[in-house]
Amino acid sequence: MPLIELSAKNERWIVLVGLGLVVIVGLIITEIVGDRLMMSQMSDGIGGLSYAFLVFLMWWSMMMAMMLPSAAPAILTFAAVNRKLQTGTNLGAHLIAFVSGYLLIWTGFSLAIVILQLLLQTKIQLSMMMAVASSAFGGGLLLAAGLYQISPLKSACLRKCQTPLMYFTHNWKKGASGAFKMGLSHGLYCVGCCWVLMGLLFYGGVMEPRWILGLALYIGIEKLVPAENRVSQFTGVLLIGWGILTIWITIGVP
């Protein structure tokens, strides 16, 4: 019993430390796999199951490192609500189930984007850092991300991420299976909020650490800043302008 009480008392710190460790491990794996992919490109080229697995491992570890910090408010809110609504010794199992559902969604996203990358990389040239070589295509990515930032779908998904307590109030399900389903559902809203932004990794470089950290920092800020500040809309306008300017310069319009 004392151990259970101690865990509940320090739950916030346990969760935050756990998330921090996952992020660190994710960044280390991303860096190691990224170096291996660069060596593979220089020696063996692209293609084959081993290359595809490395690409997936890179994307998966990168998504874990990028998305878990921004999910911390939802995870901590779930833990607090779960502790008040449900009693017993399986509160930790419920928390693990919720996080597992969230991570499963991002694992599926990683798999989907790897398949898309492998299909498109034979038609679209990428640099050694996995950035698109075509300035026009890069401008198109910026423009697409900007337009999505100001779309109603983006706003609807972002509201769920910005107000996790409201989300749980309307979607609460009991037990470990309910926690897992809530993790899946909240993960889908998170993907709906950020999936186009992930496409910008192909503009700055999928294996460029500064671009990865910068994008992760922005996603965290976007979810933490109150909706009335309209950070996503402001960013959308900037991205649209950046994309149009990039395309304009590329095609040489007088």
pLDDT in tens, 183-231: 999 999 999 998 999 989 889 888 888 888 888 888 888 888 776 668 8
Q: Which helix (H) or strand (E) holds 216?
A: helix 209-224
pLDDT per residue as tens digits for the range 83-112: 888 766 677 788 889 999 999 999 999 999
pTM of the predicted protein model = 0.81
Please check the confidence at residue 1 and state whether its pLDDT lies above 50. Answer: no
pLDDT per residue as tens digits for the range 24-66: 666 676 667 766 666 665 555 566 677 788 888 888 888 888 8
Beta strands in 147-235 (DSSP E): none
Q: Which residues contact 243 (CB under 8 A, 6 or more apart)?
A: 139, 140, 141, 142, 143, 144, 145, 146
| Residue 132, helix vs strand vs coil | strand
pLDDT of residue 161: 86
CA dihedral 61, 66, 67, 69 (to 10 degrees): 120
Percent of all residues in the chain with a pLDDT value above 70, rounded to a whole number: 78
Please check the confidence at residue 253 and state whether its pLDDT lies above 80. Answer: no
Nearest CA to 132 among 245, 50, 234, 246? Answer: 246
- Both structure tokens of 189: 């809203």
DSSP summary character for residue 254? -
pLDDT of residue 73: 84
Q: Specify which residues 132 forms β-bridges with.
A: 126
Contact 138, 204 (CB under 8 A): no
DSSP summary character for residue 126? B
pLDDT of residue 37: 66
Q: How far is CA 214 from CA 28, 42, 218, in A?
A: 17, 27, 6
pLDDT of residue 209: 80
Please state, rounded to an integer, the average pLDDT across all residues of the chain. 81
Q: Which helix (H) or strand (E) holds 108?
A: helix 91-120
- Both structure tokens of 143: 């423009």
